[in-house]
Amino acid sequence: MNGRLISIEGGEGAGKSSVMAALRSVLERRGLDVVVTREPGGTDTGEAIRALLLDPSGTLCAEAELLLMFASRAQLVREVILPALVRGAWVLTDRFTDASFAYQGGGRGIDSACIAELERWAAAIKPDLTFLLDVDVRQGHARIAGRDGERDRIENEREDFFERVRATYLQRAASEPRRFRVIDAGAPQDVVLRNVLDQLTQAISGWK
Ligand code: Z5A
């Protein structure tokens, strides 16, 4: 496979959308075939699963939540990501398996060995590069507080849940320093974007 898989991770209000857009435009300007997707979702089946997962009036135990995240991911990998990588495209995904370790592992307390086993056979691939947009939980929440619409089922969790999510992301980044680039997402947006693009350039030069 000649393509590359790049994931963008972080807590609520970390600024993943603007980072995704900046990465997309830089890679397209280099003449690359770029595929942009998101999790949960990214396929018709995945988007239906996303609606189920985020429905604020829905009830899901932690195990069902984890399995639905992986059902969406399994479909996305086989329907979108693998075919794109095989034809040499660069895939940018708004979240991937690290989110399951952070939210369902750190946040909900599911054993990480179970998640690792699902990663091995259902996800089957790992990103080449992962940007972790790290922001203080309260700062991230303040950014999305003024949004229109109801908060989704996961956004309705308490602050300590999001503190555990953040801590788990940082632990994962520390344990895989070659794959992860941790970005201070509490900084002004132009600084965040500059840091991400610098790190991308460094990563690409390391792959040559
Ligand atoms: N989830 C899970 O539990 N397990 C899994 O395996 C997966 C996901 C894959 C949906 O994800 C939920 O699914 C999510 C994790 C869970 N749950 N929660 N809660 P999502 O990615 O679709 O939803 P999200 O994380 O809630 O997205 P978000 O809150 O929209 O975050 P964002 O995309 O990073 O935010 P943004 O739209 O880019 O930025 C938010 C605002 O901040 C916006 O007004 C920006 O203009 C502003 N912003 C951004 N950067 C800055 C800076 N640097 N300074 C000031 N203001 C800024």
Mean pLDDT by 10 residues, the chain (208 residues): 93 97 97 98 98 96 98 98 98 98 98 98 97 97 87 90 98 98 98 98 91
Tokens of 146: 């003024």
Which atom, in ligand 1's list, is nearest to the CA of 70?
6
pLDDT of res. 2? 82
Q: What is the 3-state secondary structure (H, E, C) of 50-75?
A: HHHHHCCCCCCCHHHHHHHHHHHHHH
Q: How far is the CA of 14 from the centre of ligand 1 (A)?
A: 6
pLDDT of res. 111? 98
Half-sphere exposure of 114 (CA within 13 A, CB side): 14
- Tell the residue nearest (CA) to atom 26 of ligand 1: 12
pLDDT of res. 167? 98
Q: How many residues does the chain have?
A: 208
Q: How far is the CA of 29 from the centre of ligand 1 (A)?
A: 25
Lining residues, ligand 1, CB within 6 Å: 10, 12-18, 39-40, 69, 94-95, 99-100, 103-104, 143-144, 154-155, 185, 188-189, 192
pLDDT of res. 146? 77
Tokens of 49: 């699963």
Does this model's pTM top 0.95? My answer is: yes
Coil, helix or strand at residue 195? helix
For the chain, domains (ranges, CATH) are: 4-207 (3.40.50.300)
